[in-house]
Structure 1
Amino acid sequence: MTITEETAPLSNYQRIGGAASVRAAVALFYDKVLADPEVAGYFTNVDMAEQRRHLALMLTVVLGGPNEYNGRGLAEAHQPLGIPAEHYARVGGHLTETLTELGVPADVIADVAGVLRQVQEQVVAAGSGR
Structure 2
Amino acid sequence: MNLVRRTSTAVLVAGALVAFLGSSPARADDSLYEVFGEKAGLVKITDDFVADLLADPRTSPYFDGVSIKRLKEKLVEQFCVLTGGPCEYTGRTMKRSHEGLNINRAAFNALVEDLQKAMDKNDVPFRSQNKLLAKLAPMYRDIEERN
When the two structures are superposed, what TM-score results if normalisation uses the length of structure 1?
A: 0.85
Shift of 1:79: 2.4
Report 1:1-130 matches (<5 A): 10-127=30-147
SS in 2 for 1:88: helix
Hey, which of these two has a bigger chunk of helix by percent?
A: 2
Question: Does the CA contact (< 8 Å) of 2:47 and 2:72 recur in 1?
Answer: yes
Question: Does the CA contact (< 8 Å) of 1:22 and 1:56 recur in 2?
Answer: yes
How many aligned residue pairs are there?
119
Aligned-residue sequence identity (percent) comes to 24
Alignment deviations for residues 61-115 of structure 1 (CA, whole Å, 9 cap, x no partner):
1111123211100111112211001100000110011101211011110112212
CA RMSD across the alignment? 1.4
- Report the Cα distance in structure 1 between the residues aligned to 2:89 and 2:105, rounded to whole angstroms: 25
Choose 1 or 2 for highest CA Rg.
Answer: 1
- Report the Cα distance in structure 2 between the residues aligned to 1:122 and 1:30, rounded to whole angstroms: 20
Structure 2: unaligned runs, 5 residues or longer: 1-28
Q: Which of 1 and 2 has higher RCO (CA within 8 Å, sep 6+)?
A: 2
- Cα 1:10–1:68 change in 2 (3 A) is closer
Structure 1 runs of 4+ off > 4 angstroms? none
